[in-house]
Structure 1
Amino acid sequence: MAVIAQAWSWWWRASNDQDATARSVLTILIVILVLLWHAFRPKKRLPPGPPAWPLFGNLLGLPRNLHEHFTQLSRHYGPMIRVRLGSKLAVVVSSPSIAEEILKDQDLVFANHDTSLVAKIISDNGNDVVWGPYGQAWRLLRRVCVRELLNSVSLDMLYEVRRSEVRQLLAGIWAKSGAPVNISEQVSACALDATATMLWGGSIVDEEGGGKAAAEIKRLIGEITELLGVPNVSDFFPILASLDLQGVQRQMRDIRAKFDGIFDSMIKKRSEKREKGNDFLGFLLKMKEEGDEKTPLTTTQMKGILIDLVVGGTDTTSNTVAWAMTELLKNPEVMRKAQQEIELVVGRDQHVEESHLTKLPYLGAVIKEVLRLHPTLPLLVPHSPSSPSKVAGFDIPVGTRVMINVWAIHRDPKYWDHPSVFDPDRFLRKPDLDFSGRDFHYFPFGSGRRICVGITLAERMIFLILASLLHSFDWHVVGGEKIDTTEKFGIVLKQANPLSAIPSPRSHCRELCI
């Protein structure tokens, strides 16, 4: 390339000197040098993949359910495939061994997430835990979350909050006995209020003065996960980013502005008080005031953490419980066994408590099986290498979007018997499989440095809510309708048609729910 640059310099001087002959000779020379450079430069050995159209790549042929489409492609092209998304190179991994190479052996190289434009907007350019670039500031934010909120000791201290919200959930469902209940909607409201109370000591209603605010927050959470899963032309053709042809960037800016308004008001009220409180927000404010010269905590980072926890704490819980109830209604024998186990451990006249959960191995197997078939993030959060890398013998350039198809890995017939069948017993036979990310045949919450920070909270909330719903009610679908397990792809794998089921109070429910 240095030779080409020198030739260009000569051509430019010849052009200024109006020497036509020299200019012609040098033009031919430059063309020859460019052709030789392209012919003999080292070629990248990219993973195999489907043929791509000029300019558009593979965009034109992409269906809606990408996790299924990529699974089909991997069966044809291999466990690591290449797809072109406009000008963006993407690599999809559907192999446990290759996933381990990326998330364990080369964890540091792939520690950054590939951040889309809408992700940058909602995170205010990576000022949070989910989308922030790996480095000192990110490590601080993650450490703050784990140390002050998401460790076992802190969660034990906040158990009464979760307990109270679940009791309210049961009371609300009892009041609707005999009528269809939208499971996801009910659980989402419970999880949101529990998360809010754990974060700043009061529900959304307490802070904002009415049920409308809580409904608005739930709507915004749904819109965030929806927009994060929309294929955005601006990401695939950066030259078009300023046009925002689909309007998704504008929509996400509006959502971020609304969250900023809510959190700014909350932070202002709390900052005006001498006592900041003993909740998570109070700790963040104290930390910000005390300061740290090397890694000071900013208001933007505080709001980023709060958005991460509100969205993650609400969506993961409601989504998983909804899928669990769907699979249990499809498999009534499994539901019956789970209810029998709960009744045997808890008793008929007692509430389910978190202390019971470790004594419910079959229910634990049910939840694991739900997250095997319906992982919350089917392609996880995309990674991106910070330096050129080789994986499984293939070159992965900087800037590549690397997607781990955990949905496909969880259904690999080489490891899972009858992988499409809902069978919790498989986890009783493999009790070592858990949510830690150590086994790359099963890692619904990711693995490595960027493993989900809220696993412990999610596990407790899902267990407690699902066990309580099964303990207090029998469930059946409206008019004997067929159970719909159609998936709606996005960054979060949701139900295409949300489940509605009719609760019938069990004989002991009245005393527990009133």
Structure 2
Amino acid sequence: MLSNSNLEASYNLRKDKVQKAIRDVYTKIGTSIDIGELAFVTELNVVMNLLWGGTIDGDDKQDKIGAEFRKVASKFVDLMGKPNISDFFSNSCQETFRLHPRPPLLVPRISSQSCMLGGYTIPKGSRVFLNTWSVYMDPLVWENPSNFNPERFLNIDNDKLWDYLGNSFEYLPFGSGRRKCPGLHLAEKMVMYVLASLLHSFDRKLPEGENVDLSETFGIVIRKTKPLIAIPSPRLSSLSMYE
């Protein structure tokens, strides 16, 4: 289906399926026909024949499988057109990873050869720690680095790749190269999805007399000194949406 030459080569197959559709309609003269269903099943037969060499010929099978497949396809198209709520939180996550990096020091590397870095000699065999926290707090790299500002990732030079893949040394939330976090892609999807789903589904408030404490405890990973405790309340209009 992605090759013009292959499509041209399948001309006779496509012509046969259209002619069959014409014959089927002719046998139903005077009866009601779902034109959309007819066109969909014809196209489905063509695609199935191209992929697997088979079709759903036969009135009973054609009506049943074609209708079910069309229902699934229609639902799929509807879902494709709907926004994913996690898409809107990509930037309340990029800034969080910058301001509160989980690994303040990336996994140590052993230098394979001696080199000069920033005027210092790094001997071969040295254990090297990359302090990403200091990079994220550097005012020469980030404007007002101690401020939480998600919009900064919307207004960044186009020549920089601000993603999670470690393509820019100013932003390495999951590391870079062969030592980057193996769970990067899963984390990228799940962190935003879980956060967006919780924010969409619930309102929340702090327990009586409590304040949000953003203080952190330094270690191999940075953790909140005090856990975030919140009291949720339903936000969606119908309780059935929580089932």
Could you state the TM-score of these two structures normalised by the residue count of structure 1?
A: 0.30
Compared with structure 1, are the counterparts of its residues 512 and 397 closer, same or farther at alpha carbon in structure 2 (3 Å cutoff)?
Answer: same
- 1:481 is matched with 210
Give the percent of matched residue pairs that are identical in Structure 1 and Structure 2.
44
Counterpart pick for 1:360 among 76, 87, 93? 87
Q: Distance in 2 between matches of 1:491 and 1:509?
A: 43
**Number of residues paired by the alignment?**
161
Q: Distance in 1 between matches of 2:199 and 2:162?
A: 24
* C-alpha contact 2:166 2:176 (8 A) present in aligned 1: yes
Larger radius of gyration: 2
Question: How many angstroms does 1:418 deviate by?
Answer: 1.5
Compared with structure 1, are the counterparts of its residues 381 and 509 closer, same or farther at alpha carbon in structure 2 (3 Å cutoff)?
Answer: farther
* C-alpha contact 1:445 1:451 (8 A) present in aligned 2: yes
Compared with structure 1, are the counterparts of its residues 405 and 413 closer, same or farther at alpha carbon in structure 2 (3 Å cutoff)?
Answer: same
SS state of the match for residue 147, structure 2? coil
* Equivalent position amino acid for 2:107 in 1: V
5 Å-filtered alignment, 1:301-340, equals none
- 1:464 is matched with 193
Matched, 1:418 2:144: yes
Question: How many angstroms does 1:509 deviate by?
Answer: 5.8
Counterpart pick for 2:184 among 455, 470, 495? 455
Q: Which runs of 4+ in 1 moved over 4 A?
A: none
**Any stretches of 5+ residues in structure 2 without a counterpart?**
1-78
5 Å-filtered alignment, 1:353-392, equals 356-357=83-84, 360-361=87-88, 363-392=89-118
Question: How many angstroms does 1:493 deviate by?
Answer: 0.9
Question: How many angstroms does 1:507 deviate by?
Answer: 3.5
Question: How many angstroms does 1:360 deviate by?
Answer: 2.9
Q: Distance in 1 between matches of 2:187 and 2:238?
A: 25
* C-alpha contact 1:438 1:447 (8 A) present in aligned 2: yes
Q: Distance in 1 between matches of 2:170 and 2:200?
A: 32
Compared with structure 1, are the counterparts of its residues 462 and 424 closer, same or farther at alpha carbon in structure 2 (3 Å cutoff)?
Answer: same
5 Å-filtered alignment, 1:50-449, equals 356-357=83-84, 360-361=87-88, 363-430=89-156, 432-449=161-178
- Structure having the larger proportion of residues in helix: 1
* Equivalent position amino acid for 2:146 in 1: S
**Any stretches of 5+ residues in structure 1 without a counterpart?**
1-351
Counterpart pick for 2:234 among 476, 489, 505? 505
* C-alpha contact 1:433 1:439 (8 A) present in aligned 2: yes
Compared with structure 1, are the counterparts of its residues 490 and 509 closer, same or farther at alpha carbon in structure 2 (3 Å cutoff)?
Answer: farther
* Equivalent position amino acid for 1:397 in 2: P
Compared with structure 1, are the counterparts of its residues 438 and 371 closer, same or farther at alpha carbon in structure 2 (3 Å cutoff)?
Answer: same
RMSD: 2.3
* Equivalent position amino acid for 1:505 in 2: P
Tell me the alpha carbon deviations over residues 396-454 of structure 1, each in whole angstroms, 9 at most, x when there is no partner. 12342211111111121112222111111111112741112111111111112212222
* Equivalent position amino acid for 1:490 in 2: G
SS state of the match for residue 154, structure 2? helix
Question: How many angstroms does 1:480 deviate by?
Answer: 4.5
* C-alpha contact 1:427 1:433 (8 A) present in aligned 2: yes
* C-alpha contact 1:435 1:445 (8 A) present in aligned 2: yes
- 1:223 is matched with none
* C-alpha contact 2:204 2:233 (8 A) present in aligned 1: yes
> Which has the higher relative contact order, 1 or 2, with Cα contacts under 8 A spaced 6 or more apart?
1
Tell me the alpha carbon deviations over residues 262-308 of structure 1, each in whole angstroms, 9 at most, x when there is no partner. xxxxxxxxxxxxxxxxxxxxxxxxxxxxxxxxxxxxxxxxxxxxxxx
Question: How many angstroms does 1:359 deviate by?
Answer: 7.3
* C-alpha contact 1:366 1:424 (8 A) present in aligned 2: yes
Question: How many angstroms does 1:490 deviate by?
Answer: 1.5
Q: Distance in 2 between matches of 1:509 and 1:412?
A: 47
Compared with structure 1, are the counterparts of its residues 422 and 438 closer, same or farther at alpha carbon in structure 2 (3 Å cutoff)?
Answer: same
